[in-house]
Amino acid sequence: MMLPRLEPRAEASPLARYLSPFLAAALALFCGGLLFASLGYDPLVAFHAFFIKPVSSLYGLGEVALKASPLLLCALGLAVGFRCNVWNIGAEGQFTMGAIAGGGLALVFPHGNGIWLLPAMILAGAFGGMAWAAIPAFLRTRFNTSEILTSLMLSYVALLVLSYLVHGPWRDPAGFNFPQSRQFEDAALFPILFAGTRVNLSCALPLAVLPAVWVLLERSFIGFQIKVVGLAPAAAAYAGFKEAHLVWLSLLLGGAFAGIAGVDEVAGPIGQLLPHISPGYGFAAIIVAFLGRLHPLGILVASLLMALVYLGGESVQVSLGLPLAVAGVFQGMLLFFLLGCDIFVRYRLSFGPGAAAARLP
Amino acid sequence: MAPPVSNEDSYDKSRSTGKAMTEDRDRQAGGRPRLALQGISKRYPDCLANDHIDLEVLPGELHALLGENGAGKSTLVKIIYGVVHADEGTAFWEGEAVKILSPAFARRLGIGMVFQHFTLFESLTVAENIALGIDDSGEMRALSEHIRATARHYGLALDPHRTVHDLSVGERQRVEIVRCLMQAPRLLIMDEPTAVLTPQEAERLFATLRQLAAQGCSVLYISHKLDEVRSLCERATVLRGGRVSAECDPRAETTGSLARMMVGSEVVAAARPLPHAPGPEALVVSGLRLASADPFGSDLSDIRLSLREGEILGIAGVAGNGQAELLLALAGERLAPAPADVRLLGEPVGRLGPAGRRARGLAFVPEDKLGRGAVSEMSMAENTLLTAYLGGLVRCGLIRFGRARALAGRISRDFNVAAGGVDSPAGSLSGGNLQKFIVGRELLQRPRVLIAAHPTWGLDVGAGLTIHRELVALRDAGAAVLVVSEDLDELFEICDRIAVISKGRLSAARRVAETTSEEIGLLMGGLSDEEHAGGRHDAA
């Protein structure tokens, strides 16, 4: 049989592990170029519109920061879980619940103008996200339910809850029947940091969280326990690390970060509750976390790239008339090529009968 | 383990393959070996597993392949059976050069192999398993009849309709053997077949193998148990470090001289432990009952044991009789129904997890080294944290990497762990070195009670002795040591008392000086204390 086979490599090179995201990005770009060409656009023009134009102005750079910040926050939380074998796919739902909780607070205190309102909204958002993440955590630790399914399905529940609220009880009476809440008061909005951009104070939050997550993952004993549970659950049981506690911790942390990101979005660029507040940040954050090798600094870089993909999609829509789905295609290709490259970090392709250790009788 | 060696001279091939043996071979085979290997080499990325190996197996010969763990025995038989392909060298089957490309091809040639780890489906019957394992099984009823006939012919009791999970380990091995015999092999490879058998079961197996050989089937018998090889085999090829270090007639050798061929240097046994006055009870289990989490595991029923300070208690038993469950219950990974079921240094700990028990002076060497005793992706320094985190490696929730690395370095030095350095991943260590690392990590924590599961599994003779000496030293320092092992020789060598676990029940412990391996073997086979007249009991 001369079919190609995948053979495990003796040792995965660490260098290849860190190069694979770059290779994946390059391959995604190349295939993107093919895609543009096949649609009849000059790839160079399209690339310019996709990747250069969005960041060629101060405003554009601000937009990158604005889009990268929720991605970064969600992905940092998810990375903690992914290291712990907790496959939280529901950051989108936790994001939405955080937005509902934080935004709800802004709606409950329409005339609240104290300095306390924003911190309280952030806190409420964190609790909203945590509450939503607590459901998969409970189901996993109590009934051994796959958190992949529960967290994913709860995302759609969260979107329906938001939809119900803005179509029903929280609909703006003066909003011409549009499904949207009242506009938040100024005290419930993050102040703009740089004039001429939409960059607001919430963009500083993930940068404050990032070092903390780095210490947690790379230097703390809890982070060590999380890694052991992720890499070798039996070793964690042997060492006496309490897996259930760590599952709770990582899901709650992920939920809290995603919930805060939801508040940042509604109390930042949006300024009210709408049926759709996230262009898929919670899902894109999964790609960001893996593209960044589950390392805080890598995730920072990956979130900037992913933000650019979002903006590029909008940019080619405006300047070339391409559908917004191009951004989604790019995201998909990035993840696809990353997973593909990672396979080849650990395996190599071989033809014909080789060392057939993998073919035991 | 080998006893001290007499001062005989060195061994080389010329002496072992002397004239007498050549004549003997010619008489038996008419000069044509059934299987001959010439210059077989196999290189793995990190080692040369086989280095130009020559091997001849004659028709009807019981041929031993001796060597320590890592000497290249497994690789060589996998090459013969077509599982692995040699990089260099030629194989001759009955005089003709062949390329054994796959196990199916090997079976067509007439090569059968019984693996050390059985390849049976627990939920299927014997006949169904055999039907799956042979290339052209035919109709089920005829097959059952064929199984029965083959089993009867070789004096092996086997019912084709029983489900495999109801069978004992010895019976399962019989299924594997019958599966091979049904294809009328002309060469049967047995990979460490007695590792999982009681002494009595092993004797029955030897009778079958002798009968096979008498009928002209060659047997290639892989083992590192020297006594067995001496009593069973006519010829032995000894491997050391991937090369043939000697060929000999094992019947004409002593256990000591064979050990020297395997190890390449003088083997000094651990000092036989002196009788020791044991101290107060350190670990007491009173009437523990626990259902196994594994549907095919053994439930623990009414386990009673008492381990005293300053003694080594051994627990013998055939694999799968409740050892895994007992170890989990003692370590705290499975909690006992009541706190008082397990008492550690006088304190009830039945409801405490592993961390709580470790904080009270318990250390534990687990059965599975990689993935349980160590995380293969993590460095050795990080792996010290797995159990030694109470010893000052963590401050304010942060890891003190300097100290972890220092500890890893100390373990490597004290226990001769050959590794790239304290930052190299645990997965890059060989099995034996990883074993030494884990045992060293637990011993350096100066535990008051140490539980060691198969502490020398996978180790060469020298490293095994180092660990035995350390265990005895720990006992002499006043700690209590519990050793669970399937290797009776090991238990008799280091233990003060031995108990036997069988079908989830633990026998009363016997003093080593007052029992024999036959008695322990009968208990391992499932004969209970009551049935076994004349068993000496002492308070346990």
pLDDT tens string B366-402:
988 888 999 988 999 999 999 988 888 888 889 999 9
Q: How far apart are CA A223 and CA A89, in angstroms?
A: 20
In a domain, B356, yes or no: yes
The number of residues in chain B equals 540
Same domain flag for B19 and B55:
yes
Tokens of B227: 């006594």
Which member of A227, A235, A242 has the closest CB to residue B371? A235
Q: What is the 3-state secondary structure (H, E, C) of B329-352?
A: HHHCCCCCCCHHHEEECCEECCCC
**Residue B353 domain boundaries:** 281-361+447-524
Same domain flag for B257 and B332:
no
Q: What is the 3-state secondary structure (H, E, C) of B275-300?
A: CCCCCCEEEEEEEEEECCCCCCCCCE
Binary contact (B428, A232; C-beta < 8 A): no
Tokens of B509: 């412990």
Q: Give the CATH number for residue B227.
A: 3.40.50.300
Reduced to 3 states (helix: H, G, I; strand: E, B; else coil), residue B374 is strand
A70-84 pLDDT tens trace: 999 999 999 999 999
A255-292 pLDDT tens trace: 999 999 999 999 999 999 999 999 999 999 999 999 89
Which member of B371, B374, B398 has the closest CB to residue A221? B398
Name the residue among A91, A166, A156, A165 with its Cα closest to residue A128.
A91
Are A229 and A85 spatial neighbours (Cβ–Cβ below 8 Å)? yes
A86 has a pLDDT exceeding 90: yes
Burial of A182 (0-12, 13-18, 19+ CB in 10 A): middle
- Residue that the structure tokens 């350190």 belong to: B282
Task: Give chain A positions within 8 Å (CB) of B378.
Answer: 227-228, 231
ipTM for the predicted complex: 0.82
In a domain, A178, yes or no: yes
B478-525 pLDDT tens trace: 899 999 988 888 888 899 999 999 888 999 999 888 888 888 888 887
In a domain, B383, yes or no: no
Same domain flag for B197 and B68:
yes
Domain count of chain A?
1
What backbone torsions phi and psi does residue A287 show, to the nearest 5 degrees?
-65, -40
Tokens of A41: 């656009």
- Residue that the structure tokens 């911190």 belong to: A119
Same domain flag for B226 and B354:
no
In a domain, B391, yes or no: no
In a domain, A31, yes or no: no
Q: How far apart are CA A93 and CA A204, in angstroms?
A: 23
Question: For position B279, what pLDDT does the model report?
Answer: 84
Strand partners, A108: none
Q: Which helix (H) or strand (E) holds B301?
A: strand B300-308
Sign, Cα dihedral of A183, A187, A188, A190: positive
Same domain flag for B106 and B36:
yes
In a domain, B530, yes or no: no
**Residue A103 domain boundaries:** 40-347
Task: Give the pLDDT mean for A86-93.
Answer: 95
Burial of B328 (0-12, 13-18, 19+ CB in 10 A): buried
Percent residues over pLDDT 70 in chain A: 96
Chain A residue with Cα closest to B381: A224
Q: Give the CATH number for residue A231.
A: 1.10.3470
Name the residue among B177, B199, B198 with its Cα closest to residue B189.
B177
Strand partners, A200: A192
> Average pLDDT, whole number, for chain B?
83
**pLDDT tier at B48 (50, 70, 90 boundaries)?**
confident
**Alpha carbon distances (Å) from B184 to B76, B147, B452, B467:** 22, 12, 43, 44
In a domain, A217, yes or no: yes
Which of A9, A144, A221, A226 to substitute to test the interface with B, most B CBs within 10 Å?
Answer: A221
Task: Give chain A positions within 8 Å (CB) of B104.
Answer: 361
Lowest mean pLDDT among A260-264, B228-232, B262-266: B262-266
In a domain, A225, yes or no: yes
Q: Residues in chain B whose beta carbon is closer than 8 A to a beta carbon of chain A?
A: 44-46, 81, 83-85, 101-104, 119, 331-333, 353-358, 364, 366, 368, 371-378, 382, 385-387, 389, 394, 397-399, 428
In a domain, B150, yes or no: no
Q: Ramachandran region of residue B534, left (φ > 0), alpha (ψ -120 to 50) or beta?
A: left
Are A126 and A260 spatial neighbours (Cβ–Cβ below 8 Å)? yes
In a domain, A166, yes or no: yes
Tokens of A53: 């134009």
Same domain flag for B26 and B98:
yes
Are A87 and A148 spatial neighbours (Cβ–Cβ below 8 Å)? yes
Q: Which helix (H) or strand (E) holds B42?
A: strand B35-44
Lowest mean pLDDT among A172-176, B81-85, B262-266: B262-266
**Position A203: which residue type?**
C
Same domain flag for B30 and B76:
yes
Neighbours of A176 (CB within 10 A): 6
End residue of a domain, out of B236, B263, B290: B263
- Residue that the structure tokens 């391996």 belong to: B517
Binary contact (A361, B83; C-beta < 8 A): yes
What backbone torsions phi and psi does residue B502 show, to the nearest 5 degrees?
-150, 125
Binary contact (A356, B83; C-beta < 8 A): yes
Tokens of B460: 């060469």
Domain count of chain B?
2
